[in-house]
Amino acid sequence: MKRWEALGDGILDTIVGISHDLREKNGPLHSQEWHAKQQQKIDAGLAAMERDLGEREFCFRNDFSLADICCGVVLGYLDRSLPKLEWRSRYPGLRRRAERLAARESFGKNSAQVTSQGGPAPTGAGYPDP
């Protein structure tokens, strides 16, 4: 469980860093190399989540848990903050998990809508407008 939390925290921190840099009024403050390195961090975190999830229905053991919430928050925030990043084709297990999470009433009300087509969540889907 703690591994999923740590992966989620690390990926979210990286997404926030990139998205804030891209929103700078005078253009990004960091170099292309910095952005590429941050992208590698996101990819490594998603790859670890994909490996850990495998073919299972849930992220940790056999029940819905905080690990599933962490996974859904990461994927929803990724869609919302960096909508051009295509992760679904590279991580089909995470795509399936995100779709199952989005179908949950409790999750769908409070998180970005995750679809198989991708893209940002509609306004008012639990995240402030970018």
| pLDDT of res. 7 | 96
3-state secondary structure of 109: coil
| Greatest distance between any 2 Cα atoms in the chain | 48
Q: What is the CA radius of gyration of the chain?
A: 14
DSSP state of 89: T
| pLDDT of res. 25 | 79
What are 57-106's pLDDT values in tens digits?
999 999 999 999 999 999 999 998 999 899 999 999 999 999 999 898 87
Q: What gap in Å lies between CA 44 and CA 129, rounded to an integer?
A: 27
DSSP state of 121: P
Delineate the domains of the chain, giving CATH numbers in brackets: 2-108 (1.20.1050.10)
